[in-house]
Structure 1
Amino acid sequence: MKVGLLDTLGARHGRYWAAFLKELGLEVAVPALPAAEALALGRSSLPDEPVQVQLTLGRVLELGRVDAVLIPQTPAVASDAWGEALTDLLPRRISGLPQLIAIPDGGEAMPAAATELGQRFTRNPARVRLALERVKPLGAEKRAEMPRLSLGSRVTVAVIGPRSLLADPDLSGGLKAALDALGLHGVYSPELPASQVAERGERMDNAARAPSGEKELFGALKLLEGKSAVRGVLLASPARDGAHRAALNRLAAMTHKPALIIDVDAGQTEWPELETFRDRVTLGATARAAASDDPGEAS
């Protein structure tokens, strides 16, 4: 049996799943095309859909003849059909795809999902148990620390967006380069300690009913905007993703720091509005520094 394993959507535990499948004696197929070519495959079939969906489809198509493809789950925001049911929607839109299976990308649900998947693929409980034991260390969550909030003389900005965008270097690389070129130090929401983000996410209004993706974005914002080093908030939405754009619009209304919402597409390297944003946060930081150095202001 040949099973495809995708590394898209900001996947964190690809090594766990690859090792597990190999321990089961299955052949594992992984994407190999350059991201631009895979994206072109997906975009030709779904030209109007979000960029992360296009890349995921392209990666599925490049695998060719496989029996199933494992795709990491992502937390959905409100009205986010792709986030809620990507593995169900893609086969409805594109005929001839292999079986698509959503898998947890970490957390307590991952071993249980692996057990169920192993039983389905092998019908051999003993082998599944042995495979789970052998790959268990790969599933452990690494202790996460806060990323560096200051870098030399650069002004720090929080960059908030879905992991499927910001944790994928093929999609977010252009944005990171653009911020560096403008002299901004970006602190990206996927780099934050998940436990701290989750704790603050539960403080969101109506948290019990809020989609997990909304709570994750809210928690990241609240964790970063209270840091004195953070001078502004950049909210990054995947291109053509109306659900995330709407969620980030709601988030922008919750911060008192200078904020900007942008759309990010694969291969994009320029955002003219970033220069104005840079000037806002840089001049604001300079003014605050001058005020703190003025004895009259301090008294």
Structure 2
Amino acid sequence: MKVGLLESPAARSRAYWAALLKELGVEVAASGVSEAEALQLGRDTLPDEALGVQLALGRILALGRVDTVLVPHLPEVTNDAWGEAFTELLPRRISGLPTLIDVPDGGPHLENAAAEIGLRLSQSGGGVRRALERTRILAGGPREEMPALARASRATVAVIGPRALLAEPILAGGVRPALEILGLHPVFSSELPLNDVMKRAERMENAGKVADGERELFGAASLLAGKSAVRGLILAVPARDGAARAALTRIGQRMHKPTLTLSVDAGQTDFPELEAFRDRITLGTAQATGDDA
């Protein structure tokens, strides 16, 4: 059996799953194309879908002939059909895909899911137990620290957006340099320690009834908005992603610092609205509440 792993910098458990597959001794496929080529594959196949869907599809297609692909489940926002059931919806749209298995991206169910999938792939109970023992140290995800919130002679802005956007250089790589050219110091929500973010998210009204991804976005926005160094918040929306835009709009309305909603597409380097926002937060014209620009 030849297995693929959907690699994404946004997935906290990618090192765990890669190590588990290695320990199980299964044949693991590698992408034969660049990230740009993978994205183009997805765009050509589903041109009208959201940016993250296109990239994920392109990465799956780039694996070539495989039997199974493990897809780490990133947190979805409210009314996000693709986020809720990507591995179920994609085969309905695209025929001939390998079996897609939705796997947890960390959390309390990670090892149980790994045991079940390990048996499915290797048919060896003893081998699975040994693989779980050897990879357990990676189950907690990468070590995380709070990024620097201040930088000399620069105003700090929080950039809030889905991990599936901000953690992907191929998608959001143009945002940071565009802000730095304007003399701003950006702090991305994808860089924050997830435990701190989710603890802050407990303050969200009806938090238990809100989708995990939306709670994560709120927690990051609330955490950074509460820091005196942060002058304003940029709400980064993946191109063609209506669910993410709606979620970030709701979150922006709860903030008490200036906000700017910014649509981000792959390869985009020019964001004309950023200069006016920079002036707004640095020239003393900021309003008490945020709004979209």
TM range, normalised to the smaller chain?
over 0.9
Give the Cα–Cα distance (whole angstroms) in 2 for the partners of residues 76 and 129 of structure 1.
31
C-alpha displacement of 1:31: 2.4
1:149–1:187 CA contact under 8 A, matched in 2: yes
Deviations 1:77-106 (A, max 9, x none): 111001101111110000000011111122
C-alpha displacement of 1:184: 1.0
2:52–2:238 CA contact under 8 A, matched in 1: yes
Task: Report the more deviating stretch, 223-232 or 31-40.
Answer: 31-40
Name stretches of at least 5 consecutive residues in structure 2 with no aligned partner. Answer: 287-293
Deviations 1:132-178 (A, max 9, x none): 11111222344422110001111100110110001111111111121
Tell me the secondary structure at the aligned position of residue 30 of structure 1.
coil
Q: Tell me the equivalent position of 2:291.
A: none
C-alpha displacement of 1:181: 1.4
Tell me the secondary structure at the aligned position of residue 283 of structure 2.
helix
Deviations 1:197-235 (A, max 9, x none): 111111111111111111111111111101000000000
* Match status 1:34 vs 2:34: yes
Q: Tell me the equivalent position of 1:119.
A: 119
Which amino acid in the other structure matches residue 213 of structure 2?
G
Give the Cα–Cα distance (whole angstroms) in 1 for the partners of residues 32 and 9 of structure 2.
16
2:16–2:141 CA contact under 8 A, matched in 1: no
Which amino acid in the other structure matches residue 259 of structure 2?
A
How has the CA–CA distance of structure 1 residues 285 and 34 changed in structure 2, closer, same or farther, with 3 Å as cutoff?
farther
C-alpha displacement of 1:3: 0.5
Q: Tell me the equivalent position of 1:69.
A: 69
Give the Cα–Cα distance (whole angstroms) in 1 for the partners of residues 213 and 13 of structure 2.
19
Q: Tell me the equivalent position of 1:88.
A: 88
Give the Cα–Cα distance (whole angstroms) in 2 for the partners of residues 33 and 179 of structure 1.
30
Which amino acid in the other structure matches residue 171 of structure 2?
L
Give the Cα–Cα distance (whole angstroms) in 2 for the partners of residues 30 and 85 of structure 1.
24
Give the Cα–Cα distance (whole angstroms) in 2 for the partners of residues 31 and 100 of structure 1.
16
Q: Tell me the equivalent position of 1:101.
A: 101
2:12–2:141 CA contact under 8 A, matched in 1: no
Tell me the secondary structure at the aligned position of residue 77 of structure 2.
coil
Q: Tell me the equivalent position of 1:241.
A: 241
Q: Tell me the equivalent position of 1:78.
A: 78
Give the Cα–Cα distance (whole angstroms) in 1 for the partners of residues 247 and 212 of structure 2.
12
Q: Tell me the equivalent position of 2:184.
A: 184
Q: Tell me the equivalent position of 2:58.
A: 58
Name stretches of at least 5 consecutive residues in structure 1 with no aligned partner. Answer: 287-299
Give the Cα–Cα distance (whole angstroms) in 2 for the partners of residues 74 and 141 of structure 1.
14
Task: Count residues with an aligned counterpart.
Answer: 286
C-alpha displacement of 1:285: 9.0
| TM-score under structure 2 length normalisation | 0.94
1:77–1:247 CA contact under 8 A, matched in 2: yes
| TM-score under structure 1 length normalisation | 0.92
Higher gyration radius (CA): 1
Q: Tell me the equivalent position of 2:171.
A: 171
The two structures, once aligned, show a CA RMSD in angstroms of 1.5
